Chains A and B, each alone.
Chain A
């Protein structure tokens, strides 16, 4: 019997022998966060074969070893309060000899989920090498990952016009991407709106998207499409409540972070009904008519009908001009005040009020216009045309 085939067979067996004979050990150092440490403890290790590194893996290396964890290699065990890490190590000289190590990671502290640099030591019994690998670490409870910067003032929505509002989202986690998986929206007062739609980029259907940490808020990826029911919205705008907003749309954003279950975060979008600005001067004119009617009943009844009409026209024109002037003033950052109280000329009731005052002060409105232009039409007792 020849020894040569036997020796070859033994050599081959040694080459393909799974790793137990030359088992590797891996130690992960604990990570100290500002709040508390995140501790790693090895649960078990075993030899493995036929595992390749995916392009998504978290990879580290030392002079002699490759080390990696696949993204799905970390999972939560929420009922027992820890996270499970499945990490692979292989010697560079024998890439087929892979050791699979499972670690438990846990903390008692509250900190944001984040990626951290974890120091490790690989040893084969005879020598050891150290390195670092970026691994996700997790606080005891999932932290709120999503915020949205909303403007200080409610977002204006025209009474009879559909409106698309962007909901910019910001990722608050440290170096941990967040996937926005879905969203729903519900107004506080459903009677004011047709069903609220959730939209995505380019106003199309919403599609899940990634939110990276440190990236500027993405205003385009999540939008709500509001369609007011005009009569109800008009009534709400005419009789404003004590709040600056007319309604609040709660957008429930669902998101997923690594190894955590899906969570949701409510975002309050405050909206205020506003008539379309070109309508407002005409609203002021209607207010002027109301004011004129009151003036007619109280004082101007004695005037001839022609003069009554002149007062009405003067009041209407004055209301129209004051409203436009007020809108320009406020749009320019100034304030319009009446007896010390600020008036928002972009709202229905204040616009009506401006007209009402102009109508009530019909004589003064006429004088006001005469100061601007000497139009004989506005002179009382004038039965003819221009002077």
Chain B
């Protein structure tokens, strides 16, 4: 056994880098901008992609960092980006933070999460009240943050003790609640904004790994990227709960990791497995186009 291990580094030299693209531009998350353009968050930073000619420009180069979900907030001076940045090691522990950037890439605010070991996972914004809601996928907490105050602190909206890993979060404004996916259990939870009551609105069993969500508040539809079941689910309300059906056909997507609603109601899906960004018609799930970053 020992001799096998000794040979390992050489063997893995090929294994690790033999066939894999090491491109650092794989999309981690997609959002649509007010202009209809696409914003892509990848490990380097935020890119803006013109839909008409597929040209991209770098909005913000973060250098080296890791990030997942982000939010686009329309404002008078142009869209702003809210980016949860992963833990940073300081002398007194590990801390996450949320940073805000203008469409020109200028940082205008940074809110540290003053909770040791916290990890900001999902984020959604109540644009009318300028409040951000973030899920902490490590401590299973949903935080609230006032965006109008650059000195504001994250406050705990609710701690969900029996959750697995809290993931993406969307605002169901119509019902005055947040919808939070549990990435580990494959469930959707609702958190009432007034009473902070938590209940399961989509049971385990259907979804395996809901890593991204977006809500169409006009048509009252919920779209969920399920990375392990390789599909996008579309949710329709059923009383207080949701029912989901598959929107995409089997084996079309490989590892969908982010969904974003386009202004015309179609749906962008970032697929890490196929290294593509797809645009689907939400009415029938047909592919409208693909973008290869």
A contact set with B: CB distance below 8 Å: 41, 43-44, 46, 54-58, 71-72, 75-82, 84, 102, 104, 115, 117, 134, 141, 175-177, 179, 181, 210, 212-215, 254, 256-258, 261-264
Contacts and interface: CB of A to CB of B under 8 A. Distances in A.
B64 A80 contact: no
A77 B68 contact: yes
Interface string B224-237: 00011100000000
A299 B120 CA distance: 80
B266 to A, nearest CB: 25
B9 A44 contact: no
B22 A79 contact: no
B213 to A, nearest CB: 13
A244 to B, nearest CB: 28
27 contacts: A41-B184, A54-B19, A56-B14, A71-B17, A76-B66, A77-B183, A79-B119, A81-B119, A81-B121, A84-B209, A102-B208, A104-B209, A115-B8, A117-B1, A141-B87, A141-B89, A141-B94, A175-B5, A175-B8, A175-B12, A177-B16, A179-B22, A212-B13, A214-B9, A257-B16, A258-B12, A262-B64
Contacts of B243: none
Contacts of B86: 78-79
Contact of A104 (B12, B19, B122, B184): B184
Given A141-B89, A179-B22, A80 B165 contact: yes
B106 interface: no
Interface in B9-46: 9-10, 12-20, 22, 24, 28, 43
A175 B68 contact: no
Contacts of A210: 13, 17
B15 A82 contact: no
A339 B234 CA distance: 86
Nearest to A214: B9
A57 B15 contact: yes
A80 B167 contact: yes
A57 B12 CA distance: 9
Contacts of B28: 79
Contacts of B184: 41, 104
A211 B26 CA distance: 24
Contacts of A254: 64
A179 B17 contact: yes
B84 interface: yes
A44 B208 contact: yes
Nearest to A110: B94
A104 B20 CA distance: 21
Contacts of B15: 56-58, 71
B67 interface: yes
A76 to B, nearest CB: 7
A215 B16 contact: no
Of A72, A80, A261, A262, the most chain B CB neighbours within 10 A belong to A80
A43 B210 CA distance: 11
Contacts of B183: 77, 80
Nearest to A58: B15
Contacts of A77: 68, 183, 211, 227, 257
A254 B69 CA distance: 24
B209 A179 contact: no
Given A102-B208, A212-B10, A261-B43, A256 B22 contact: yes
A179 B121 CA distance: 28
